[in-house]
């Protein structure tokens, strides 16, 4: 009796075994093709000058998971699942999940806006919400990765980046810096300005246009404050800033100018010997 039952179910077992094998093959083939095609898209996109590097990771993700979703649907249809009903169920489930994951959807929407309007791109130096500064590594579907100057990687939700101020330090080719110098009251201001202008003229990476300038910006506490205003390319900005900060007071002292001394004001406490 048991053998007869087994024999009656044997055709079903055969069909099921064949369906399982075919489903596994479809799944393995779909996953392999999705990974291969994703890598191809990434390589071809990286070679093109017209495609922003920031959008490449998201483009690859969309291609990979689009193929994998169709693969899963093909596997389910192999077992006789009605894909139309499945799509309807997935739509309802997607609506429920979307309501539960509003924050995640905000990150996706913000990621699309960041990639569309491109206020920051991979490789650019930026300061974003929360005061995080560094080089943009990747803008993904949910998160933005920034590598700080100390090598630490910071991952920020896209919605946080999009809803805050984005300061792009390298988008423009040239940047201006203001360097402060200090001399005492009574010193020859005009000669100090000439000395500092000569210092600026000696800097090979300082731009000649707009023309560098030096002017008096403040007077208080026995100190005259001079401001050196100069432009440089974005790539040379940090080095030039460091060089001038190191050389300005040194050059003034070499030319005979004395550094200001702090002014101390005596306070009468009312106590007398």
Domain boundaries, the chain: 2-100, 120-168, 174-254
DSSP string covering 20-42: HHHHHHHHHHHHHHHHHHHHHHH
Second-level CATH architecture of 2-100? Orthogonal Bundle (1.10)
What whole-number distance in Å separates Cα of residue 157 and Cα of residue 146? 11
The model carries a pTM of 0.58
> Burial of 113 by CB count in 10 Å (0-12 exposed, 13-18 middle, 19+ buried)?
middle
- 3-class state of residue 88 by DSSP: helix
Q: For the structural domain made of 174-254, what CATH number should be given?
A: 3.30.70.100
Q: Are 182 and 249 in contact (CB under 8 A)?
A: yes
Beta strand 132-139 with 174-184: parallel, antiparallel or unpaired? unpaired
Give me the pLDDT at residue 267, please: 47
Q: Are 236 and 174 in contact (CB under 8 A)?
A: no
Give me the pLDDT at residue 1, please: 46
What whole-number distance in Å separates Cα of residue 41 and Cα of residue 65? 13
Where the chain has pLDDT below 50, the residues are: 1, 266-268
Among the CATH numbers 1.20.58.190, 3.40.50.720, 1.20.120.1080, 2.30.30.60, which is that of 120-168?
Answer: 2.30.30.60
Write the CB contacts of 100 (distance below 8 Å, at least 6 apart in sequence): none
Query: CA-based angle 181:182:184, to the nearest 5?
Result: 155
Write the CB contacts of 164 (distance below 8 Å, at least 6 apart in sequence): 128, 129, 130
Give me the pLDDT at residue 11, please: 65
In our burial notation (b when 16+ CB lie closer than 10 A, e otherwise), range 32-61 reads eebeeebeebbeebeeeeeeeebbbbbbbe
Q: Are 146 and 156 in contact (CB under 8 A)?
A: yes
Write the CB contacts of 116 (distance below 8 Å, at least 6 apart in sequence): none
Other Cβ atoms within 10 Å of 253 Cβ, number = 11
């Amino acid at each position: 009796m048991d053998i007869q039952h087994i024999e009656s179910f044997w055709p079903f077992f055969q069909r099921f075994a064949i369906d399982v094998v075919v489903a596994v093959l479809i799944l393995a083939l779909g996953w392999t093709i999705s990974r291969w095609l994703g890598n191809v898209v990434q390589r071809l996109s990286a070679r093109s000058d017209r495609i922003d590097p920031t959008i490449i990771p998201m483009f690859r993700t969309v291609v990979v998971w689009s193929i994998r979703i169709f693969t899963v649907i093909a596997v389910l249809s192999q077992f006789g699942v009605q894909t139309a009903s499945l799509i309807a169920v997935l739509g309802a489930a997607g609506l429920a999940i979307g309501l539960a994951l509003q924050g995640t959807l905000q990150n996706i929407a913000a990621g699309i806006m960041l990639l569309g309007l491109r206020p920051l791109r991979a490789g650019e130096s930026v300061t974003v919400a929360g005061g995080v500064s560094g080089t943009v590594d990747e803008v993904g579907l949910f998160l933005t990765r920034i590598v700080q100057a100390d090598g630490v990687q910071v991952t920020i939700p896209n919605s946080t980046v999009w809803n805050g101020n984005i300061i792009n330090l390298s988008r423009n080719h040239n940047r201006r810096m203001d360097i402060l110098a200090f001399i005492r009251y009574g010193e020859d201001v005009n000669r100090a300005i000439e000395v500092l202008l000569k210092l600026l003229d000696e800097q090979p990476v300082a731009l000649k246009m707009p023309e560098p300038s030096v002017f008096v910006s403040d007077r208080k506490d026995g100190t005259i404050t001079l401001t050196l205003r100069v432009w440089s390319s974005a790539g040379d900005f940090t080095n030039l800033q460091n060089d001038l900060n190191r050389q300005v007071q040194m050059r003034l002292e070499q030319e005979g100018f004395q550094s200001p001394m702090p002014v101390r004001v005596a306070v009468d406490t009312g106590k007398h010997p």
